[in-house]
Amino acid sequence: MGQPTAWQNSKLPYVTDAVIAELETRFGKEALAQGGLRVQSTVDYDTQKLAEKTVKSAYSGLRGRMGRAKDLQIALVAVEPETHFIKAMAGGVDYNKSQLNRVTISRRQPGSAFKPFVYYSAFASGKYTPDSSIEDRPISLRDGAGFYSPKNYGGGFSGSMSIRQAVASSANIPAVLIGSRVGLNKVIEDAKQMGIKTPLQSVLSLPLGSVDVTPLDMAVGYATLASNGWYSEPTAILRVTNVRGDVLLDNTPKPQQVLDPWAAASTSSVLTSVVQGGTGKSAYLGRPTAGKTGTTDNERNVWFVGYVPQLATAVWIGDDANRSLGKGISGGLCRSHLALFYESGHQKYASGKLPLSFPIPPSQAGKTAKILGFDPIAAGG
């Protein structure tokens, strides 16, 4: 079935396709083909155009550096933490050349960008805080008939370090150790609660992002962290009415507290360390910013997923045929472009009368900002 006539030649084609897919799920293809629906989208036009500009600019700057990646593509999606509304969606570099929406359809390994879900589970267990010590040393974990011996990106080991330091430096061994101790099934359960809809496998390399997810999965998961664990079903549709004005669908958010708020706040705290002085420092805006880089084996996928208090965004760069992007390519490619995206849109998402710090949960017995390592001053409060 083709698009309804009124939606052909859309100025926001990736958004239109996503809206149509959501409408088909809600109402069925036949009802959609009959027409008569009036759809109000959650997407903000200015933010959407900025996302498209960011993707095209990044592509222009990277194309010449990646000779082996013949099908280089970039995807960006932005989700509002308070509502989980999709505010922008660029599913590729050029819709006229490729209609595949990589935001919602393409599943790729997120690499280290998955680690925050593991550390959230650790904090939620009550056994760890951002300042807890963890070993970065050679390990071998039994894996079926053999052993799994993860390595760090640079090949070396740093010994004892805090979880905050492990996240900031993107050390692999601490994440694998934490995952094995809190339980991989628990990590999967928590990730699902945050909004990861793609099925995840309980494998020892899960903490290092060896499973496939979509950019939308990642943006929604980080949005749930940014809101201290409040989750609403993500959507690109605000409201649908018929020609008489009858409301057929009202997606007013119905947020549910799905995470421990202090564990979520602690995760945000360590992710601010990534941006302020770790692997994501080129994304630091001089205001509350949290995020994590991700790079997979052989540099096939690079990511940066991050958030300011008002917006969570995932940026993915890769090759449609899953070719390597080239030696030395890392998630830093994404984080710098995401910084430009936020900086360009700072009037809407990083300044003005909007919140200038990440929310701190209400006080709970035995849980304080100091104990959990959450520093409101460092976070911009």
For the chain, 381 residues long, the average pLDDT of each consecutive 10-residue run is 54 96 94 91 93 90 71 94 96 96 97 98 97 96 92 89 95 97 98 98 97 98 97 98 95 96 95 70 62 88 90 92 77 57 55 62 60 43 35
Model pLDDT, residue 380: 39
Model pLDDT, residue 289: 85
The two structure tokens encoding residue 313: 């965004």
- Give the H or E element holding residue 215: helix 215-226
Q: Give this prediction's pTM.
A: 0.90
- What backbone torsions phi and psi does residue 138 show, to the nearest 5 degrees? -60, 135
Q: Per residue in 19-30, is it b (16+ CB within 10 Å) or e — as a string?
A: bbebbeeeeeee
Q: How many CB atoms lie within 10 A of CB 362?
A: 9
Model pLDDT, residue 283: 44
Model pLDDT, residue 136: 95
The full set of domain ranges for the chain reads: 5-349
Identify which of 172, 73, 163, 79 has the alpha carbon closest to the alpha carbon of residue 127. 163
Model pLDDT, residue 298: 81
Model pLDDT, residue 381: 35
Identify which of 80, 65, 64, 72 has the alpha carbon closest to the alpha carbon of residue 102. 72
Contact 343, 109 (CB under 8 A): no
Identify which of 258, 81, 278 has the alpha carbon closest to the alpha carbon of residue 163. 278
Identify which of 60, 36, 56, 39 has the alpha carbon closest to the alpha carbon of residue 48. 56
Model pLDDT, residue 10: 83
10 Å CB burial of residue 322 (0-12, 13-18, 19+) is middle
Contact 315, 305 (CB under 8 A): yes
- Whole-number Å distance between alpha carbons of 43 and 40: 9
Name the 3-class secondary structure at 26.
helix
- What backbone torsions phi and psi does residue 78 show, to the nearest 5 degrees? -125, 130
| CATH class of the domain at 5-349 | alpha beta
Model pLDDT, residue 154: 80
